[in-house]
């Protein structure tokens, strides 16, 4: 994985925010301890105070956290009955609610604490202002921390994916292309050899190269989960076209100025291209083929044309060799499919996606 100074800066920011969050938590616990001491000094020790102290300390082990917070607020409410000075603890409880609960439950919880504080202290302005300030500051810091953490995770995943894509490309451009060339050369040599023993050795070598090519492509697929990883639609289709035994006999062209497409449209067009190219390789017996992606203002067209053995009209109507699946995928994105073919004259398939 490639680390940049930018990603390192993001990581340092997250570490700093997490450290600040820990320090705030420690400061909050210290504040609760000081306010408890003030309450005991002013109103005396009681079993209610002992219960609150015990439950608060149990927070180190008690899970889930929302249950612990509920018990703390309940114990604090009981302490208010015998110790009016405990109302000062509301300020610390406001931050505690924000730290433990999601946003809306925290707001509800702080509202409850505010109402209890007003009821027992008889003052409204102080608790309300404290609740608003604590809620806004606490939620704001929490949101900042969560966003920084999410950005760091996204940056890390993007870096990993870029590196995987780079490795997949390197393997494809070197090992896979080399094995593909060896396979095609051995296949051509076989046709010019009559000696059975030599022919058997050539077939074994070709089969070995073919098996290793398939394994290499599986490795590439594992490194790069989908053709769309690391690029837009033209790049994805170029990868599909370059990864076939036809090699340079299969060309890919882009006409018009590319524009952004819905992710589902890109995925389906990529799968359609894979199916059509696979049909050309496996069934057409073509020596040349061309894939063209055409961008127009109101239409996006994908054309796959080959010079293979073609099909008759009846075969086309029956949607052979995977064309039924292509048609289904085209329908999913509101596209239409047109097939032109005749025996011995090759085949052309056009997918047209209207741009609304």
pLDDT digits (tens, 9 = 90+) for 203-232: 888 788 777 877 777 776 666 545 444 347
Percent of the chain clearing pLDDT 90 (strictly above): 10
Q: What's the mean pLDDT in 37-46? A: 89
Residue 336, pLDDT score: 92
- Comparison of pLDDT for 110 and 177, the residue scoring more: 110
Q: Say how far apart CA 129 and CA 184 lie, in whole Å.
A: 79
**What are the phi and psi torsion angles at 305 (to 5°)?**
-125, 140
Q: Say how far apart CA 24 and CA 134 lie, in whole Å.
A: 12
Strands 299-306 and 347-354: antiparallel
* Angle CA 272–275–279, to nearest 5: 140
Residue 23: other Cβ atoms inside 10 A: 10
Tokens of 18: 């997490």
Beginning with the edge strand found earlier in the chain, give each strand of the sheet holding 299-306 in spatial order: 250-255, 289-295, 299-306, 347-354, 336-341
Provide the CB-side half-sphere exposure for 263 (13 A, CA).
3
- Do 342 and 310 form a contact (C-beta atoms < 8 A)? yes
Residue 15, pLDDT score: 72
Q: Which residue has the tokens 């966003």?
A: 147
Residue 267, pLDDT score: 85
Residue 172, pLDDT score: 67
Residue 11, pLDDT score: 58
Q: Say how far apart CA 77 and CA 165 lie, in whole Å.
A: 58
- Do 166 and 224 form a contact (C-beta atoms < 8 A)? no
Residue 5, pLDDT score: 44
Provide the CATH number for the domain formed by 231-356 in this structure. Answer: 3.30.565.10
Question: Which residues, at least 6 apart from 42, have a Cβ–Cβ distance to it below 8 Å?
Answer: 83, 85
Q: Say how far apart CA 123 and CA 167 lie, in whole Å.
A: 67
Mean pLDDT of the chain: 79
Strands 289-295 and 250-255: parallel
Task: Return the beta strands (E) in 153-296 as ranges.
Answer: 250-255, 289-295
Full-prediction pTM beyond 0.85? no
Q: What's the mean pLDDT in 154-180? A: 69
Q: Report which of 278, 289, 272 is spatially closest to residue 336, judged by C-alpha positions.
A: 272
Question: Which residues, at least 6 apart from 32, have a Cβ–Cβ distance to it below 8 Å?
Answer: 56, 89, 92, 96
Would you call 304 helix, strand, or coil by DSSP? strand
218-231 burial: b if 16+ Cβ within 10 Å, else e: eebeebbeebbbbe
Question: Which residues, at least 6 apart from 10, have a Cβ–Cβ distance to it below 8 Å?
Answer: 148, 151, 152, 155
Instruction: With cut-offs at 50, 70 and 90, classify the pLDDT of residue 293.
Output: very high
pLDDT tops 80 at residue 297:
yes
Instruction: With cut-offs at 50, 70 and 90, classify the pLDDT of residue 261.
Output: confident
Residues of the chain with CATH 3.30.565.10: 231-356
Q: Which residue has the tokens 């000062």?
A: 88
**What are the phi and psi torsion angles at 50 (to 5°)?**
-65, -40
Residue 189, pLDDT score: 81
What are 235-243's contacts with CB under 8 Å, separation 24+?
A: 236/266, 236/270, 237/269, 237/270, 237/273, 237/291, 237/293, 237/302, 239/172, 240/270, 240/273, 240/274, 240/277, 240/291, 241/273, 241/277, 241/291, 242/172, 243/172, 243/176, 243/217
- Do 18 and 145 form a contact (C-beta atoms < 8 A)? yes
Q: Write down the H helix ranges in 83-193.
A: 90-100, 103-121, 125-171, 177-190
Instruction: With cut-offs at 50, 70 and 90, classify the pLDDT of residue 305.
Output: very high
């Amino acid at each position: 994985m490639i680390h940049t100074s930018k990603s390192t800066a993001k990581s340092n920011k997250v570490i700093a925010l997490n450290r600040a969050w820990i320090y705030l938590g420690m400061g909050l616990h210290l504040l609760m301890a000081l306010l408890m001491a003030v309450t005991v000094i002013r109103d005396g020790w009681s079993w209610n105070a002992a219960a609150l102290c015990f439950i608060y300390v149990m927070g180190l082990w008690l899970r889930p956290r929302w249950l612990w917070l509920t018990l703390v607020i309940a114990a604090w409410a009981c302490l208010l009955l015998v110790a009016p000075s405990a109302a000062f603890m509301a300020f610390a409880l406001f931050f505690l609610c924000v730290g433990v609960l999601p946003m809306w439950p925290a707001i509800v919880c702080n509202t409850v604490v505010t109402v209890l504080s007003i009821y027992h202290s008889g003052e409204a302005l102080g608790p309300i202002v404290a609740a608003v300030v604590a809620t806004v500051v606490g939620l704001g810091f929490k949101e900042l921390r969560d966003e920084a953490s999410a950005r760091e995770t996204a940056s890390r995943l993007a870096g990993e994916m870029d590196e995987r894509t780079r490795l997949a490309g390197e393997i494809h451009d070197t090992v896979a292309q080399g094995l593909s060339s060896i396979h095609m050369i051995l296949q051509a040599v076989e046709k010019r050899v009559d000696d059975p023993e030599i022919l058997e050795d050539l077939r074994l070598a070709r089969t070995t190269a073919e098996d290793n090519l398939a394994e290499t492509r599986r490795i590439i697929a594992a490194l790069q989960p989908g053709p769309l990883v690391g690029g837009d639609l033209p790049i994805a289709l170029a990868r599909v076209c370059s990864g076939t035994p036809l090699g340079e006999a299969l060309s890919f062209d882009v006409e018009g100025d590319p524009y952004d497409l819905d992710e589902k449209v890109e995925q389906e067009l990529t799968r359609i291209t894979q199916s059509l190219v696979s049909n050309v390789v496996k069934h057409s017996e073509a020596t040349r083929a061309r894939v063209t992606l055409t961008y127009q203002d109101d239409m996006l067209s994908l054309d796959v044309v080959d010079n293979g053995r073609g099909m008759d009209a009846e075969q086309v109507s029956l949607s052979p060799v995977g064309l039924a699946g292509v048609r289904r995928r085209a329908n999913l994105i509101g596209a239409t499919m047109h097939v032109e073919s005749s025996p011995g004259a090759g085949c052309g398939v056009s997918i047209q996606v209207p741009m609304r």
